[in-house]
Amino acid sequence: MDFSLTEDQRAYIASARSFATDLLAPNAARWDAQSIFPKDVLRQAGELGFMGMYAPQAAGGLGMSRLDASMIVEELSKGCTSTAAFLTIHNMATSMVGKYCTDAVIEQWCPGLVAGAKLASYCLTEPSAGSDAASLATRAKRDGSDYIVSGNKALISGAGDTDALVVMLRTGDTGSRGITALLIPADAAGISYGKAEHKMGWNAQPTRSITFDQVRVPVANRLGAEGQGFAIAMEGLDGGRINIATCSVGTAQKALEEATAYVRERKQFDTAIADFQSTQFKLADMLTELVAARQMVRLAAYKLDAKDSQATTYCAMAKRFATDVGFTVCNDALQLFGGYGYIKEYPLERHVRDTRVHQILEGTNEIMRVIVARRLLMDEALEVIK
């Protein structure tokens, strides 16, 4: 197995690193402190192709592999975790539109979405439907050539500041087969937004609830066939789990680099704390686990690109492991900074806050364990997934 990077991948990484260094990192603390959603910077990301990385080329996207896209996201996360994470959500919604909508809808929406001139939110979670996505209740009833949408979505990233909503809705009976996906303009009549949630982290992107009150949406705005929504959502979540795992790896890498530089300079008892064996052991463990997490994420991305039958299991394993490792590495890096790590003048406390939610979203890590365990307990699973 060849782990070396191609020339194209090195170029992607260099471009993303430059963008993160020049535009994201210098502003991340201010965006976090003032809850600023940097739409102008996202538009500049679109100019580089970062807002349509794996949207189909026919829809104006780059048609990248998930492996290549993950390398870009890792670099962007080093600049601003919250902004990079929203960028991945936008990419997921945009790729769904580009893959499953009609040519007319793609022509209407994708140029703006891919360019970052328009932004998209992905709307799955409801007040009573989180991990159990198949139980969602927001309903779309057919009325001639339209659907009438009523219900509520909760904890939606970008809501109130985006232009397009990719919404999972119930059009049939209970269960996963009764779910359909629609593209709904964010300013459609009958849509209202809740207050911007006050969060522990991810403050550079807004999070709000959405209420749909008899919202009329053309049937032409449907993604795929009626009843295909759950399959589209689960396909998106496999990639979303790679994305959020990658955000954890990138942020943890940055935290490790910052901690390594700090312990070389910081002295106690007339000795640089980097010279203490306890510090060296901690750094060694942080690096080892971080490298393991990165390789697991890239393996899962490779499996997804190859349409491997076990891709969902690998994505779940990678998401669980990398988000746990990412948070732990950031927390350990804060500890190495001592009291300064707890002060907002330094970025460590923000890294800890921003990576904590990664263990919850795109399916909690408890649900990831359920997915993996169910596969493991199937007949001959050990032979299949090793």
pLDDT tens by residue, 163-195: 999 999 999 988 899 999 999 999 999 999 999
Which has the closest alpha carbon to 193: 233, 146, 158? Answer: 158
User: What is the torsional sign of CA 24, 34, 356, 327?
Assistant: positive
End-to-end CA distance of the chain: 15
In the chain, what percentage of residues exceed pLDDT 90?
A: 93
Catalytic residue among 362, 366, 380, 383: 362
pLDDT class of 38 with cuts at 50, 70, 90: very high
CATH code 3.40.1130.10 for 121-227 = no
Q: What average pLDDT does range 87-115 have in this prediction? A: 98
Mean pLDDT (the chain, rounded):
96
Judged against a pLDDT cut of 80, whether residue 317 lies above it is answered with: yes
Dist. CA 168–CA 229, nearest whole Å: 6
CATH code 1.10.540.10 for 7-118 = yes
Judged against a pLDDT cut of 80, whether residue 386 lies above it is answered with: no
Q: What is the DSSP letter of 22?
A: I
Class of domain 230-385: mainly alpha
Judged against a pLDDT cut of 90, whether residue 78 lies above it is answered with: yes
Catalytic residue at 362?
yes
How high is the pLDDT of residue 174?
86
Contact status, residue 301 vs residue 67, Cβ threshold 8 Å: yes
Domain ranges in the chain are 7-118, 121-227, 230-385
How high is the pLDDT of residue 200?
97
> What H or E segment, with its residue span, contains residue 249?
helix 229-265
